[in-house]
C-alpha cells in the first residue's frame, strides 16, 4: 500500500510533504479502511491542496503503462484487473465521489 512507499521515502530523507502526498494518493484512505489499516495511515497528514488534486488527476487519467486515458476508462481498467470482490474495487467504489471531484 501507499503508506509503505511513504515510509520508505521518509526513511530516504524526502520531504514530509512528499511523504504525505504519496501516503494519501488517490483516495488511499478508503482503501486503507477496507484493509483495516487506516490507523497506520494517520501517521501522515492529508495534504488537501491543489498539488494533491493534480497528482490524483494525473493518476486518474493515466493508464498502467503510462498512456493517457479518460477517468471512466481508468476506473473500468482497475475493476477489470482486480475483479469485483477485491478490496481495491470495493475501496474504489467507496472513494469514488472523492476521486471524481
Q: How confident is the model at residue 35, as a pLDDT? A: 78
Q: How confident is the model at residue 25, as a pLDDT? A: 85
Query: Rounded to 5 degrees, what are φ and ψ at 43?
Result: -75, -10
Q: How confident is the model at residue 12, as a pLDDT? A: 97
Q: How confident is the model at residue 99, as a pLDDT? A: 85
Q: How confident is the model at residue 42, as a pLDDT? A: 86
- Domain limits at 73? 2-100
pLDDT tens across the length of the chain (101 residues): 566 889 999 999 999 999 999 998 887 888 888 778 888 888 899 999 999 999 999 999 999 899 999 999 999 999 999 998 888 888 888 888 888 88
Number of domains in the chain: 1
Q: How confident is the model at residue 2, as a pLDDT? A: 60
Amino acid at each position: 500500500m501507499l503508506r509503505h512507499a511513504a515510509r520508505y521515502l521518509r526513511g530516504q530523507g524526502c520531504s514530509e510533504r512528499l511523504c504525505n502526498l504519496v501516503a494519501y494518493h488517490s483516495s488511499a484512505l478508503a482503501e486503507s479502511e477496507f484493509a483495516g489499516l487506516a490507523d497506520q495511515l494517520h501517521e501522515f497528514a492529508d495534504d488537501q491542496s491543489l498539488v494533491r488534486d493534480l497528482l490524483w488527476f494525473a493518476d486518474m487519467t493515466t493508464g498502467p503503462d503510462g498512456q493517457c486515458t479518460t477517468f471512466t476508462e481508468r476506473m473500468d481498467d482497475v475493476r477489470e484487473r482486480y475483479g469485483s470482490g477485491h478490496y481495491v474495487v470495493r475501496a474504489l467504489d467507496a472513494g469514488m465521489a472523492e476521486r471524481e471531484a
